[in-house]
Amino acid sequence: MRREAQLDRLLPMLRISIALVWIWTGIVSLGLYPTRDSYQLLARVGIDAALAPLMLYGAAMLDLLVGFATLVMRRLGRLWLLQLAVILGYTIIITFKLPEFWLHPYGPLSKNVVMLAAIYLLYTLEPRRWNTSS
């Protein structure tokens, strides 16, 4: 019972933290990070200059939508799977096209490992808490 009580308190906190990471990433991508630098990174992964704005702002909006959905949706199973797929996709692309980010001292890619583990934890544990009522 103690573990259940702790999970009832801690899982929502983890859920909110993950939502805030998505929301902050979306906000930063909308222009807090220099757009010119974002376009250069997109070019390095093979995104044509004509598609760069669509990809940048589309990804930013996706991040924002995922973040807000994480806060408000009751049934999150598919959303957790979407998050896992998006993070894995980003990680695979960056691994092959921008591998130096694995060596960056702030660990932008290594932190994805923790995000994936936390999201998977929520995917496996949260359904019995968040999805019990319709």
Residue entry with tokens 């933290």: 17
Q: Kindly report, residue by residue over 69-110, the tens digit of the pLDDT.
A: 999 998 899 999 999 999 999 999 999 999 999 999 999 999
Alpha-carbon distance of 19 to 64, in angstroms, equals 9
- This prediction has a pTM of 0.89
Instruction: Tell me which residue of 97, 132, 127, 126 sits closest to 11, measured CA to CA.
Output: 126
Residue 127: pLDDT band by 50, 70, 90 thresholds?
A: low
DSSP 60: H
Phi/psi at 36 (5° precision): -55, -45
Amino acid making up residue 108: P
pLDDT of residue 131: 46
Q: Kindly report, residue by residue over 24-63, the tens digit of the pLDDT.
A: 999 999 999 999 999 999 999 999 999 999 999 999 999 9
pLDDT of residue 128: 54
- Would you state the structure tokens that stand for residue 28, as one six-digit string? 């930063």
